[in-house]
Structure 1
């Protein structure tokens, strides 16, 4: 009794079911083990660089936090002119800020268009230099 057969270019061959299933299963297990190894490496790499960030209500992250919604989401106080933006941010988007009374930003100069975008305009040049490469020069300007 023939179990199964299929046609090839040369002719008729018998399908060796158990052997093919066994080798395929073996290869799948090898691939799964390799994926686990790579995922473990990526996780350890990411965990080394991850910072456990937590803020309290009232902390400053350049602007003030109103409420902690869950361990990774914070509601922040937006400035006048951009209050129509979504005010909930992921913790990775926030950076701590030490308040400095001499650090004053004029928020009235920021004009948002309908798409909530703005054009950055330099105030003045802080530093200027030319970077010399092998066959060309690159002018570099630091602006505020």
Structure 2
């Protein structure tokens, strides 16, 4: 038997037959893929339930009024303001019609007529009018010519606070007698 190679399906370096090695590696890879898919599905369902709990669908009617939610973008002029000073919620607009499942058409003023009037529900915030916040003109003492009586004020206390390089002046006032 000298010089004759006997093949017994056993590789001495890996301790198993070559086909077992190949199929073993494939089985391990498939098992890892299954574990990754299960973990991704679990994470997706957790994320979906979190989002569903936080984001309730906004139910709007045609007669409702809404704010338009915009996000300030760097170097972009939106509704007359730039960057930090730009508004988050603009206007109070009336809903004209329901377009599609989650889109609404708004009655926009002539100044922003170039903007498409159809918006996704995520860009809208319902306007809730609170009658307690409405001030009546009769109680303010405003005359018919829109003037009012001036009431003299006395400065009771004055303080100057120093904050680094700035001075902040605070005053306590009251009615003059």
- RMSD, matched Cα: 3.1
Once the two structures are superposed, residues 102-132 of structure 1 have per-residue CA deviations (whole angstroms, 9 ceiling, x without a partner) of 59xxxxxxxxxxxxxxxxxxxxxxxxxx9x9
Aligned pair in 2 of structure 1 residues 97, 20: CA closer, same or farther (>3 Å)?
same
Question: Any conservation in 2 of the 1:74–1:89 contact (CA below 8 Å)?
Answer: yes
Q: State how far apart, in whole Å, the 2-side matches of 1:138 and 1:98 are.
A: 40
Compute the TM-score of the two structures, normalised by the length of structure 1: 0.58
The structure 2 residue matched to 1:90, chosen from 111, 120, 125, is 120
Q: Partner residue of 1:43? A: 48
Aligned with 1:81: secondary structure? Answer: helix
More strand by proportion, 1 or 2? 2
- Deviation beyond 3 Å, 4+ runs, structure 1: 99-103, 136-139
Aligned with 1:42: secondary structure? Answer: helix
Q: Partner residue of 1:63? A: 93
Aligned residues: 97
Aligned with 1:53: secondary structure? Answer: coil
Q: State how far apart, in whole Å, the 2-side matches of 1:39 and 1:138 are.
A: 51
Task: Please give the residue correspondences for 1:1-144 in structure 2 after superposition, counting only pairs within 5 Å.
Answer: 16-61=21-66, 62-99=92-129
Aligned with 1:25: secondary structure? Answer: helix
> Rg: which structure is higher?
2
